[in-house]
Structures are given as C-alpha cells and as structure tokens.
Chain A
C-alpha cells in the first residue's frame, strides 16, 4: 500500500520508497525512511496536499510524493 492511499489517522510503517530522484532523497533526509512510523493526519481543503505526522512533527506532502512511499 502507498502512503497516498492510507486511511486518515491510521499509523503505519514505511517499508520502502523510490530513491531515484532528488525529491525522494530529500524526503528521506526528513526522516521518511524504512521503519519510520508515519500517519496521514488530514488532507488540505482541496484534497491535496496531505498533512502527515512523522514522530513529533508534521509535514505537508503532495499525494504524488506520498504515492512513491510504500507503507504497511
């Protein structure tokens, strides 16, 4: 399952991600790496981007980026 399709409020673990672009590398630097616990808190009023919670902090992430992150 990808992070983009995770139900709101459900805590999941990152199992893998594409590492081929500078953008994905940047997300990894922010702590979205294998094993990290992550949760989609809400969607923006227009449906995109997503507000995700990673440990103690919140990030705004576009669905297209979230779709490149595998979770379980």
Chain B
C-alpha cells in the first residue's frame, strides 16, 4: 500500500489469542513482532485488529502487546456485529485505558478504513496505558535479569521463555544458545514466591482487561437470542445437524465430481488437446515431436486438468470456513475422529481427499497440533480420489456382471465401486492407530475451538484462498511433476529400434493390415520393447503371484507419476493407440480378449479386482508425494508414505487373488 509520502509495508500475521506458543508454527507471531522473522525488520507500528463483539478475550492479546514497547494502534473490528447485538463500545474511553489510539472499523467496508490508515501514518509513540497488567515484581525482575544477560530478547519474549516451560519460545531460546541452567535457576527462584506462574500472569492480565473495559461496554440487560443461536439449534441438532452436514458434503462432492467436469473437458480437449494436435502437425515426426506433444504438453495438461477441482474444493472450504460452518462440522465430528487419535479439525481435510489429496494436504495447515497434522497428511492419500475413478470405471465395466439386487435398486457394479471407496477408509483406520502408537505417539490432540458467529462470506477472502492454492499447484505442475512425467515419457519412448519397425512392416504386409492397424501394432511393439516395457518384464517375478503379466506390470509402473494415465497406457499396450478413455468399448473388449501365452484369458474377475484394489491403495501420484514433502518439510514422510502404500497395495492385491 502506498498512500502518503513513503510506502508502507504491511505484514499480515496469523490470527491468535495469545503470544504464548506451543508449536513452532504459533511462534511466528511473537518472532515477527520481535524482529526475528527472516527478511523482516522489527515493525514500526503494530496494528491489533480486535473483535468489538468479543472484547475481553481480544484485549488479553492487547495486554501482551503492551509488553513489546512498540507503537500500537487498536482497530475495533466488527462494530456492526456488536451493534446488532445491542453492544455499544466507547472507543475513546478504551483508548485512554490502553494508552494507544483505538479506531472503530468494519473490515469489509472500505469507507471505514480511512481513519485507520491515517492513524497508522501519523507519528507513533509507545502506548502509555493508565495502568499496566499487575504482573508480579519477582517475575518482572527475572525478566529484566534474563534480558540483561541476553540483550537480543525482547520483553514479551523473555516473559514467554520464563513462564511457558516446554513452550516454543523456550525451545527457540535454548536453540539460540540460551542456558538451560540459568532458566532452571530463575524458575526455581520464582517457584518460591506466590503468584509467579503462567496462571497468575493470566489472572493479572484478565484483571487488567476488566479494569480497562470499565465504562467502555454498554450491553442490553437481557441476553438476546441471536441469529447464530437460531442457526446453531438446527445446524448442530442431533438429527437436523447431521442431515445438514450430509447435504453440505453431498453438494461438495457433486461440485467436485460433476460441476468441474465441463471445465476439465475444456482444458483437456479444447486447450491441451488442440495445442498437442497443432504441435504434432507442426513438428516433424521423431523424438522431438513426441517429447513436446506426449511429454511436455500431455504432461502439463494431465496435471492442469485438475485445476477446476482444486479451485472448487478450495472455494468451498474457504466459503464454509469464512461463514463459520466449518467450526460446526469439526464440532460435530470430533467424537468420531477421536478414535483415530485425531480431532474434529482433521475431518474436512480427510473428507476432501476423496476429491483430491493435493489440496486436502495443503488444507491441513489449519491443524495446529503437529502430530495430528502429520497423521492427517499420511491418511489423506488413502481416501479414493477422483483420479482413481477412471480405473474403477474401466475394470468394473469390463469384468463385473450387472447383477441386480433388491429389485434393481442396488446393482453389483455400484456395490463394487462402493467397496473400492471403503477399502481406503478401512485400511486408513488401523494405519492411523499404529502411527499414533509409534512414530507419532503422544497425548490426544487438544480440541478447543471457537464457534464464531455465522456471517456472510467475504468474496475477497475466498478468492485469495483459491488463487493462492491454484498458483501453488500450477507452479508444481510446471516443475517437479513435469520432470517426473518426462522421465516416464523417455522410458516409454526409447530406444525405438529400427528393427522393430521393419518387423512390424513385414507383418503388416504379410497379414494385409490396414494403415490404422499397422500404426497401432507399431506403437504397441515400440512400447513393449521400450525401457519401460523391459522394466515390466523385469518386475514380472514380483507380480506373478498376483496373476498379473508384464503388460499389467508395465501399465502399473507407468502410472506411478499419476494413476489416471493407466487407462491410456492400457490402451497403448493392447494396441489400440493412446486415444482411449474408460468408456470406450474397444478397450473393454480388448481387455476381455487379452490372452496369456498359454491361451487362457489374462483378466479374470479376481485379477481385475486385484488391480482395482492395488490402485485404491497405491501411492501412484507424484503430486501428492511432492506436496507431502513440502508440507512436512522432510523427505522421510513422502518416502514412508510411498513405501507403506505400495506395500499395502501389493499385499491387498495378493490377498484378493488368493481369496477369490
């Protein structure tokens, strides 16, 4: 923003109730205010945006901000909500108590923001409150002592280091070389005095808040029944609430599966399909043409095609969060999630994984507890995402009989499809349990959640979330995912022996194939004899127990970067050219007719089921693994996820073949 003579840089810090931090993520606010955030100076002025309809708890944070000894401007937000509840706030009296300017605003109404901008630009002084929070003098002495020995600590930091044993501030202090011994001694001295612990500090701050609010708030004598309360009576009702949740989820799924469809077709066929066709015609035949068309264009297109789903999912999540419903969904589902060592917060990310694990994993950032967040990230890819649907559709269509039950209400194909979705959930439950007992063992995550008033969602906030997620996704599509796709392309393309071409040409002449047939046969032969084809043969011993041959193995290998490419790969492998989709009856027939060397059919129902179960559980999605790596900031988690899922997929596929 640039208004007056000099430009102003505004840094938006995550919303918080307190400067005390349990996790490193929560420490960001204190670090930034104390000038420790990388690339950021200590701020010239701190703007505290407080909720006028909920002042006591918001002024608790303001009381901590006073310790920073930085200029402060308090923006009194949601004045409209406060007024609608009959709450009147006297900003001038409050400003005197805090000793800093207090500006009433309505954040969604730009016309109310001018006064705030002027206040931020005017000369700043450190707040001069009528009274400071009555924190014990012993505590203040120890804070002063700690700061004398460690001049880089600011006052608010020293207080947190001292009073929050095991907190994130303490850990950061020790990591910077602060002495564990001096901390222990200081705490031992404080323990001898009364009212020198964190609980006493909190009581002192709330006492200060009460004093500061004296004569500031006028409220109606009788509590009104608010619109939020009326909505909650329905939306968290044992019957109505569950029904409403199902409707919300139903619409969400519908949106992701169906509404995104026309846009996905547009991207896939109209944009990338046409660009690919154009380039195929423009470039001379050969490795360059294939690299550009089959590698780059198809590679990027195969990822960008998910953009509409990602945008819809993020828009829906942002809408539900911004209007206040998400907190209610978490509230209702907490009990059910607790059995997995998770909390209500994990519910929405896991649910959205049924659409796509990539945005879901990005969405786990709202989970503060590190262990809970990592378990959620690990479980997300087990949910059957939309990219598995084409595989299910193809194999069910080809090999599952259309037997009807209950007078045609339920059909066997639908049941098998449902079973595929349940396989992931059924496996995720024991996995969650095991992780929570081993690598991420720890106490049940806390679940204290504010249930905010319902409000109309702000378009700008929703759009910000959507565009941020889309940008991040496209960036990855253009880099890592593209690189992985190019490697698989190269493996499937080379070496292209001229002997192969000669052999196929001879066979075509001998058996009088038409041009199309000859081209398909040639493509198939190239693929069989490519490095990927050789890999398929190489892994045959591993997949033979599953009853798969090298062709299925090759299709599975080719779909490790992105599972949805398997339909196209199967099409190519079984000599149909790569222009196939899951509904093409040609591919279905080809799969039914495929024979082993001894003449038995390649696919039987158990083998089709085992392939589907394998796809349901296997980590065949490079985007997901990359996102897991980025969100956990480690290599360990994506590798563990890949190995676990692939091993489970193999064992489950083996079990299916043995049982059926």
Contacts and interface: CB of A to CB of B under 8 A. Distances in A.
B651 interface: no
A46 B335 contact: yes
Nearest to B217: A56
A28 B206 CA distance: 10
Given A22-B166, A25-B198, A49 B206 contact: no
Contacts of A27: 448
A59 interface: yes
Contacts of A26: 18, 20, 22, 446, 448
B365 to A, nearest CB: 19
A62 B334 CA distance: 9
Interface residues of B, number: 42
Interface residues of A, number: 31
A12 interface: no
A56 B85 contact: yes
Interface string B20-43: 101000000000000000000000
A45 B239 CA distance: 8
Contact of A33 (B54, B203, B449): B203
Interface of B: 17-18, 20, 22, 53-57, 60, 85, 87, 164, 166-167, 197-199, 202-203, 206, 232, 236-238, 241-242, 327, 330-332, 334-336, 344, 446-452
B149 to A, nearest CB: 26
Interface centre among A23, A27, A47, A54 (most CB of B within 10 A): A23
B22 A22 contact: yes
Contact of A59 (B236, B238, B451): B451
A29 to B, nearest CB: 5
Contacts of B238: 45
Given A58-B451, A65-B448, A51 B203 contact: no
B22 A44 contact: no
22 contacts: A19-B198, A22-B22, A22-B167, A25-B164, A25-B198, A26-B20, A26-B448, A29-B20, A31-B56, A31-B57, A33-B202, A42-B232, A42-B236, A45-B332, A49-B447, A51-B331, A55-B54, A56-B54, A59-B450, A60-B330, A60-B334, A60-B344
A37 to B, nearest CB: 11
Given A44-B331, A44-B334, A56 B87 contact: yes
A29 B449 CA distance: 13
A55 B60 CA distance: 14
B376 to A, nearest CB: 18
Contacts of A51: 232, 236, 331, 451
A31 B202 CA distance: 9
B54 A19 contact: no
Interface in A7-56: 19, 22-23, 25-31, 33-34, 41-42, 44-49, 51, 54-56
A61 interface: yes
A57 B203 CA distance: 19
A60 B331 contact: yes
Contact of A48 (B53, B164, B232, B335): B335
Contact of B327 (A22, A46, A60): A60
